[in-house]
Structure 1
Amino acid sequence: MGTVGLSFGSATSGQGFDVATTVSQIQAANQAIETPWQNQLTALKAQDTALSSLGTDLSTLSTSLQKLTDFEGVFAEKEGSSSNTDLLSLTSASSTAVAGSHTIVVGQLAQTSTDVSTTVSSASDTLTGTVTIQGQVFDTSTAGSNTLAGLASAINSAAIGVTASVVTDSSGTRLSIVSGTSGAAGQLSAITGTLTDSTSGTAISFSDGQAGQPGQAGQDAQLTVDGVSITTPSNTVTNVIPGVTFQLLAASATPVQVQITDDTTDIATAISSFVSAYNTVVGDINTQEQSASGGSSAPLLGSPIIAQLQESLTGSIFSGTASGSISNITQLGLTVNTDGTLTLDTDTLTGVLNSNLSDVTGFLQNSNSFGQTLSTALDNLGTQAPNGAIFLAQQQNSSQETALNADITNENAILATQKTQLTDELNTANQILQSIPEQLDEVNSVFDSLTGFNPNAQQ
C-alpha cells in the first residue's frame, strides 16, 4: 500500500487539511488490491467473446455437415426434367423419388364440370322464380336473392360443393356455376327450375357442356405411364411415379420423357458451404494463436481449448473408413492448405459426383465414415451441454468470474466501512488541528494574567 501525506501547513496555523481528498487518496491506495482481480475479469470476458464466436462458427459448421450426413438431407434430393414442357411440366421430385426415366403419353386432360346461364341484359335486372342446383332450391323471393349477384351469394353461402360467380362480357351477364370437385366425379347434376328476368321478361336457362352446349362437362385425365393406363381426376398428378408430381398441360399422342436424377448441383453447393464453414473455424483458431501488431496477445493464446480444437479437427479430417473407391477427402477435390484451411476443386468434385455418387454418399453417411467421424468430433467440441469443449470452457470462466466478482464485492464492502471510520477519525483530527490556535490564545491569556506578560503582544 502506498503512503499518503497530509498537507496542513504549520501546526499552529489552524488550517487543518482536506478530509475528503485525504480519504479518497487512502481509499485509492487500499483499492489497488482489486486491480489484479479486475485485470483477470477483463481477460476472462475477452475469452468469453472469443469462445462465443468459436461456438457460433462451430455450430454453423455442424449444420453444414449435417446436410451431408443426414440420410434425408441433400443426398436424398432429386430433380427432374420433361422432354416436352408444352405437354407436361415437372412440379417436384421429393427424396422418396428414385432416379430413372419414364415415358408418359397424355391422352386426355381432366376437366371440372361447369354450368352457365343464358344472358341477362344487366347484372342489376330483377329475377323471379326458383332454381334447383345440386338438389337445393333457391327462391329469388328470398331477401337479397333477386339479382344474379344476390343469387350467386346465396348459392355460395349454401356450401353445396359449387362456386357461383357473375360473368360479364360483350354479350351480356351470366351466372357461372363451377363444381368444387374436378374430374368425372364432380359432374354437376342438371340445373332445373323456372327463372325469369322480370326486367326483359326472358326466361333464363342453364347448360352444362353436354351435347355441345355451353359450359363444360367433368372428365378425368387419361394417360399412360411406362405403358400403364392411368385415370386421374386432376391434371396435377402425384404418386403415379413415387415421389414425383407433374402437371398435365395438353393431350397428345407424342410420348413425353420424364427424367428423374440425383440433385448433384445442390450436393456440390452443400459441400462448398461446408468447406467455407470449416475454413471459418480454422481461421478463428489461427487468430487465437497470434499476437496483435501492438504486442497484445489473443484472448485464447496458449489456452488448452485451442490445442484441443486443432487436434480434433485435424484428426477428424483425415479419419473415417473408406466407401468403395472413396477413401479420403482429396478424392472429393479437397486439399488441406498449410494453414489448415481447405481448398475445393469444383471440377474434381463434379466429376466424382456424376461418376460415383453412391461411394461419395457412403463416405459421408456410413457408420464410422469421414462424415460421421467429423460429426461426432464437432458434437464434442461445441457449445452442447454437458460435454462440449466450448461449453465446459465457458462454464469454467463463468465460475472464475463469479468468484472474482464476489471478492470485489466483499472488498468494496470492507472499503465502504473503512471509509466511514476513516472519515470520522480524520474529521476529529482535523477539528483538533483547527482548534490549536484558539487553545494557544487561551493559554497565553492565562499566562498574561499571571505574569503580566503576553507573548503575543505587539513589540
Structure 2
Amino acid sequence: MATISSTAATPTPSTTSVTKSAASALLTSLNTGSGVDTNTLVTSLVEAQFAAKTAALTARSDKLTAQISGVSTLKSAITDFTAALETLVKGGTLQSQPTSSNNSVFTATPISGAKLTGMTASISVERLATAQAAVSTAVASKSAPLGSGVFTLTVGTKNADGTVAGTGEPIQIEIQDGTLTSVAAAINAKKAGVTASVVTDADGTAYLSLKGETGAAKAFTLEASAESSAELKTFNVGSGTGGMTITGTATNARLTVDGITVERGSNAISDLVDGVKLDLVGTSTTPVSLSTSTPTTALTNAVEDFVFTYNQVLTELQKQTDPITGDLRGDSGAQNMLRSLKGLSMRDLLPGSAPGTPKTLAEIGVLTNRDGTLSVNSDTLSKAIASNPGALEAMFSNSNDGSGVLSAMNSIKLNATSTLYGLGASTKRYTEAQGDLTDQQDKLTLQQEKMTTRLTQQFASMNARVAAYKSTQTFMENQIKAWTNGDN
C-alpha cells in the first residue's frame, strides 16, 4: 500500500521578523519604547486571526490523506485477491486429472484449459515410435584427418528399396579438411533433425553416431559426393552406399484407442484424446484404462481459501465505508465495490448450463452471514463436489467465455479500479483536491505574512513614539529637579 507523507521544512526567519526582534531587544536594553514584547504579541495576534482557517485546512488535509490511503488499500486488496485467484485457477490443480491404470505403458497429463470430468478411454500400445540410428566404423582418433567433400542429407519416408523420399530439399553439408569432430559439428549445424555425436573408446578410437527423430517420416540417408575423399565416403548412410551400419529404424507408434488402431510419429501424443497428452513408454498385451480423478481436496481448499480471503477484503471495505467512522463513507467507487462483492455469492457463474447444475456459490454451500461475510457449509460443499464435480471445476476454471469465479472477480476488479467511476476516479479526485488545498494553504501563509509585516510596522511606530514621549518626560523631570535645587 502506498504511504502518503509530507515533511515540513524548518522555516527560515524572514527579514521582518529578524528586524522586529532586534529592535525589540534594543529598546528593552535601553529601557526605552513601550517595553512590550512585540515579537510574541504579533505572533499571537496573527495566530488568533487565522486560527479557524488554519484548523479547517489542517482537518481537510488530514481527511484527504486518509481517503487517499483508504483508496490505495482497497485497490491493493481487490487486485491482490484477483491475482491470487488467477494463479490458483491457472495452476490446473482444480481440474480433473487424467490417470493411467498402467504407467509402465503410458502416462497421461492434462492439456491446459481442458475439461476432463468423466473422460474414459481404453488404450493398447502395440509398438513404440522409434528413430533411425547409424554408427560408423572405427576411426583412429576424433582428430584424425578425413579430407574434404560434400555430403547430401535427405530426410523423409524410407522406400522399399532403402532410399528415402525426402519431404523437403536435400541438404548440402560441405566439409573442408575435416575431422570426425568437425564432421559431427557440420551435420548438427544444419539442424535438420539428425543429431551427430562422437563416441570415443578408452584407447582413443572414435566412432560417428547419427540419430534422427522418431517416426516413419523421419528416416534419413547421408551420401558423400563422388569427388569427396575416400575417408568421408565411409560415413555414407543408405541402401547401396555402404559405410555406416544402421542400428535402428524409423517407425511410427501403433496403438488402439477404444477399438480404433492409429499410428503416430512420436511417443508424445496430444491429438488422440481431447485434453490429454499421452506419453508412451512401453507396449501392452491388454488394454490400459485412461480415466480421470476429481481433485476433491483441492476444490474444497480452494472454496475455503476463497471465502477466507473474501472476508478479509470485505472487512476492510466495510471499515472504510462505515457510515459514521469510515474515511470513504461517501465515496461512490468504494460503495460500488461493496455492492459488487456482496452480490457475488448469488451471481450466476455458469450461464447456459444444464438445468439442475449448481450455478452460484450459494448453491455449492457458500453462505452469506448477517454481517455480509461468507461461510462454508462443508456438508453441502462435499455433496456438490460428489454429485456435480464438473460444475465445481467449471466455476474454478480458466474460462474464456466469461463464466466462472475468476471472470466474475476480474469484472469486479475492473469496475472497482476504473478511472471513470471506480476507485481510480476517487484517487484522481482526492489528488486534485489535495492540490487545491495546497494552493489555499499557500494563500493563507501569504496573508499571514502580510499581516505580520503590517502589525510589526505598527508596533515599531508605536515604540518610536513611546520612546519620544519618554525622552520628553526625562527632559521635563530633569528641568523640574534643576528648578527645585535652585530654590534651595
**SS of the residue aligned with 1:281?**
helix
Question: Could you say which residue in structure 2 is the equivalent of 1:48?
Answer: 68
Q: What is the CA distance between 1:440 and its match in structure 2?
A: 5.9
**SS of the residue aligned with 1:246?**
strand
**SS of the residue aligned with 1:258?**
strand
Matches of 2:411 and 2:184, distance apart in 1: 66
Question: Could you say which residue in structure 2 is the equivalent of 1:415?
Answer: 448
The code of the aligned residue for 1:153 comes to A
Q: Return the match for 2:104 from 54, 69, 86.
A: 86
Question: Could you say which residue in structure 2 is the equivalent of 1:107?
Answer: 126
Matches of 2:485 and 2:317, distance apart in 1: 82
Cα 1:105–1:376 change in 2 (3 A) is closer
Deviations 1:54-89 (A, max 9, x none): 333234556678899x9x997994421111111111
Matches of 1:237 and 1:368, distance apart in 2: 30
Within 5 Å, which residues of 2 pair with 1:60-459?
A: 60-61=80-81, 77-98=95-116, 99-128=118-147, 130=149, 132-134=151-153, 136=172, 138-141=174-177, 145=178, 147-170=179-202, 172-179=205-212, 181-192=213-224, 194-196=229-231, 204-205=234-235, 213=245, 215-260=247-292, 266-288=298-320, 298-300=325-327, 303=330, 313-314=341-342, 317-318=345-346, 324=356, 326=358, 329=361, 331-346=363-378, 348-357=380-389, 378=412, 382-388=416-422, 390-391=423-424, 394=427, 397-398=430-431, 400-433=433-466, 443=475, 453=482
Question: Could you say which residue in structure 1 is the equivalent of 2:165?
Answer: none
Matches of 1:30 and 1:20, distance apart in 2: 16
Q: What is the CA distance between 1:237 and its match in structure 2?
A: 0.6
Q: What is the CA distance between 1:220 and its match in structure 2?
A: 1.6
Deviations 1:273-294 (A, max 9, x none): 3212221123214545889xxx
Q: What is the CA distance between 1:437 and its match in structure 2?
A: 5.6
Matches of 1:436 and 1:86, distance apart in 2: 117
More deviation in 339-348 or 214-223?
339-348
**SS of the residue aligned with 1:406?**
helix
Contact 2:70 2:328 in 1 (8 A): no
Q: What is the CA distance between 1:315 and its match in structure 2?
A: 5.5
Contact 1:60 1:277 in 2 (8 A): no
The code of the aligned residue for 1:248 comes to L
TM-score w.r.t. length of structure 1: 0.73
Cα 1:358–1:113 change in 2 (3 A) is closer
Contact 2:336 2:416 in 1 (8 A): no
Q: How many corresponding residue pairs?
A: 430
Q: What is the CA distance between 1:415 and its match in structure 2?
A: 1.8
Matches of 2:250 and 2:328, distance apart in 1: 76
Matched, 1:30 2:62: no
The code of the aligned residue for 2:421 comes to N
Deviations 1:382-432 (A, max 9, x none): 2324233x4565555445444433322221222233333344444444455
Q: What is the CA distance between 1:161 and its match in structure 2?
A: 4.6
Deviations 1:184-222 (A, max 9, x none): 22212144465449xxxxx95566799994532222211
Cα 1:274–1:167 change in 2 (3 A) is same
Cα 1:218–1:281 change in 2 (3 A) is same
Contact 1:106 1:252 in 2 (8 A): yes
Matches of 2:482 and 2:288, distance apart in 1: 137
Cα 1:28–1:166 change in 2 (3 A) is farther
Matches of 2:148 and 2:411, distance apart in 1: 79
Question: Could you say which residue in structure 1 is the equivalent of 2:32?
Answer: 13
Deviations 1:297-356 (A, max 9, x none): 844386576877666655554566995264875542334445432222445423312212
Contact 1:118 1:206 in 2 (8 A): no
Q: What is the CA distance between 1:95 and its match in structure 2?
A: 2.8
Cα 1:231–1:329 change in 2 (3 A) is closer
The code of the aligned residue for 1:103 comes to S
TM-score w.r.t. length of structure 2: 0.69
Deviations 1:117-166 (A, max 9, x none): 2223432333335463416354442xxx3x22222223333555533322
Q: Return the match for 2:59 from 23, 30, 39.
A: 39
Matches of 2:54 and 2:200, distance apart in 1: 87
Cα 1:382–1:12 change in 2 (3 A) is same
Cα 1:91–1:65 change in 2 (3 A) is closer
Contact 1:317 1:370 in 2 (8 A): no
Percent of residue pairs bearing the same amino acid type:
24
Matches of 2:465 and 2:113, distance apart in 1: 93
Contact 1:74 1:266 in 2 (8 A): no
Contact 2:198 2:207 in 1 (8 A): yes
Matches of 1:137 and 1:316, distance apart in 2: 65
In structure 2, the gaps of 5 or more residues are 1-23, 154-170
Deviations 1:359-383 (A, max 9, x none): 6578899x99997997699469723
Cα 1:435–1:217 change in 2 (3 A) is farther
**SS of the residue aligned with 2:221?**
coil
In structure 1, the gaps of 5 or more residues are 1-5, 198-202, 292-296
**SS of the residue aligned with 1:178?**
strand
Matches of 2:239 and 2:379, distance apart in 1: 58
**SS of the residue aligned with 2:214?**
coil
The code of the aligned residue for 1:93 comes to I
Question: Could you say which residue in structure 2 is the equivalent of 1:3?
Answer: none
Contact 1:209 1:217 in 2 (8 A): no
